[in-house]
Structure 1
């Protein structure tokens, strides 16, 4: 999905002193042998007010969030963990509104820039190696569990993989869902450029047929994952019960929009994926569009993006309230984890 330009703008977010928040934020970059380079990552956590209050992930287009840079972890009991995965061409800032809120409610949230599929490290062909994203998440959890500051505070009965769009697939994969490369090939053959994802692949000169079916279809389940939240997830075409046999985590599927506002590539009702998960909780948000999960836009945001020839990601359907859409997602995930 095309929003690399949008998220590139978002990535250069200023830091401004503001009012006291209750969420801490710290760098959480870690080594990843499967990439041969570090994964840039951020940890969000409940904090006291002793840190440097800053504004994160804000620019001329998007509103950001209030955090305490490197503030101390609040005292208390066990905390759930959320591993948060962005969409294709996105970065950790694109879901800052979600990470900040959930951390403020009492979760440890790790959001990362997936190498090869993030805003400033993007290669469509390499980025389609979806298993590297699952490994990014598992490696982040390894680091958190090895960190003496946080290890004793982790509630191992509440460890969630969550993600948006391509990141929604990443979260499902970490939960145990396996891919079906033949299904994705058939979907692009059938939909052609009507599917924005298939159109983007064609424009980049990449096809699913270029990929290794053995690697694509393998399991990347992390047995530590107890919960999954997939927000408008992609890459679930042609699935059978065998593809979901290993998914035993408490799962929430979130759909954005209906009819013409529903993105073909992420429509888990049309693909039949939702039918394979009768025990999953399904939240369908309307009116909305796929990009309604990007940050709240400033008044001039749409005009700025239009000048950049980017997608109209600041334009929601008539009657939609992006802040309300965000709150529905926050509430669903918070309830799922018992926050």
Structure 2
């Protein structure tokens, strides 16, 4: 997507402190042998005092959120965990609005920056190896469970894998859903550029056919995951019942938009994926568009993107209210976790 470069530049804008907050935020970098380098991530958690109040994830296009940088973890009982995965070319800032709100309700949220498929570290060919993202999330959970600050506060009966777009697939994979490389190849043969991810791969000179089915179709389930939240997930074409047979986590699927506003690549109704999960909770939000899950845009945001000839990620369908869309998603995940 074209907006990768612009967001990389804008995310370097300075932070400004605005208000009191009960949210802590800290670096959560950890080693990942499968990448051969560290994974840079952020952890969000309840924190009512201390630290430095800062505005995080703010730039010229998007509003950010307030948090206590390196504030102490608030005292209390066990807390649910959310492992949060961004979309292709995104980063932890993309879903800061969601992480901040869940943390304010008492969750430990780890926003993972996936090497090879994030804004600052992007390689389409390497990033398409979806199993590395699942391993990123599992390693983050390993680190959390070994961390003396947080390990004693984890509610192991509420560990959620959540993600948006490509990250939605990452969450499903952690829950036990297996991929179907042949299905993705067939989908691109049929849809061509009408499917955004097929078009992006073509522009990058990359093909699903470059990958190995034994790796793509393998299971990357993490048995510690008890809940899955997949927000407009991708990569679910050509699935059979066998692909979802090992999904035992409490699952919610969230669809954005309807009709022409529904993204072909993430339409789990058209792909038939939703029919394989009769026990899943399904939330369909309309009017909306795929990018309605990005942060709230500033008044000048749409014009900046237009001038940069970038994707219109600030342009929602007529009648859509991005704040209300965010609120509906927050409510669904909060209810699922019992917050």
Which bracket does the TM-score occupy, shorter chain normalised? over 0.9
Q: TM-score, normalised by structure 2?
A: 0.99
Q: Provide closer, same or farther for how the CA distance between residues 134 and 25 of structure 1 changes in structure 2, counting only shifts above 3 A.
A: same
Q: Name structure 2 gaps, 5 residues minimum.
A: none
| 1:126 alignment partner in structure 2 | 126
Q: Aligned partners of 1:191 and 1:221: how far apart in 2?
A: 29
Shift of 1:7: 3.0
Shift of 1:49: 2.0
Out of 302-311 and 80-89, give the one that drifted further: 302-311
| 1:282 alignment partner in structure 2 | 282
Is the 1:3–1:90 Cα contact (8 Å) retained in structure 2? Answer: no
Within 5 Å, which residues of 2 pair with 1:1-339?
Answer: 1-339=1-339
Q: Aligned partners of 1:2 and 1:183: how far apart in 2?
A: 26
Shift of 1:4: 1.1
Q: Aligned partners of 2:270 and 2:247: how far apart in 1?
A: 20
For these two proteins, the number of residue pairs brought into alignment is 339
Q: Aligned partners of 1:298 and 1:19: how far apart in 2?
A: 18
Q: TM-score, normalised by structure 1?
A: 0.99
- Superposed CA deviations along residues 55-103 of structure 1, whole A, max 9, x for unmatched, are 0000110000010000010111000000000000000000000000000
Out of 256-265 and 1-10, give the one that drifted further: 1-10
Shift of 1:267: 0.1
Q: Aligned partners of 1:281 and 1:9: how far apart in 2?
A: 38
Q: Provide closer, same or farther for how the CA distance between residues 240 and 140 of structure 1 changes in structure 2, counting only shifts above 3 A.
A: same
Shift of 1:51: 1.7
Shift of 1:2: 4.5
- Superposed CA deviations along residues 118-140 of structure 1, whole A, max 9, x for unmatched, are 01110000000000000000000
The SS at the match of 1:161 is strand
Q: Aligned partners of 1:282 and 1:161: how far apart in 2?
A: 16
- Superposed CA deviations along residues 291-328 of structure 1, whole A, max 9, x for unmatched, are 00000000000111111111100000000000000000
The SS at the match of 1:160 is strand
Is the 1:39–1:112 Cα contact (8 Å) retained in structure 2? Answer: yes
Q: Aligned partners of 1:228 and 1:322: how far apart in 2?
A: 23
- Superposed CA deviations along residues 247-288 of structure 1, whole A, max 9, x for unmatched, are 000000000000000000000000000000000000000000
Q: Aligned partners of 1:276 and 1:103: how far apart in 2?
A: 32
The SS at the match of 1:62 is coil
Shift of 1:189: 0.2
Q: Name structure 1 gaps, 5 residues minimum.
A: none
Q: Provide closer, same or farther for how the CA distance between residues 6 and 229 of structure 1 changes in structure 2, counting only shifts above 3 A.
A: farther
Q: Aligned partners of 1:155 and 1:139: how far apart in 2?
A: 18
Q: Aligned partners of 2:208 and 2:220: how far apart in 1?
A: 19
Shift of 1:10: 4.6
Q: Aligned partners of 1:100 and 1:135: how far apart in 2?
A: 24
Is the 1:171–1:230 Cα contact (8 Å) retained in structure 2? Answer: yes
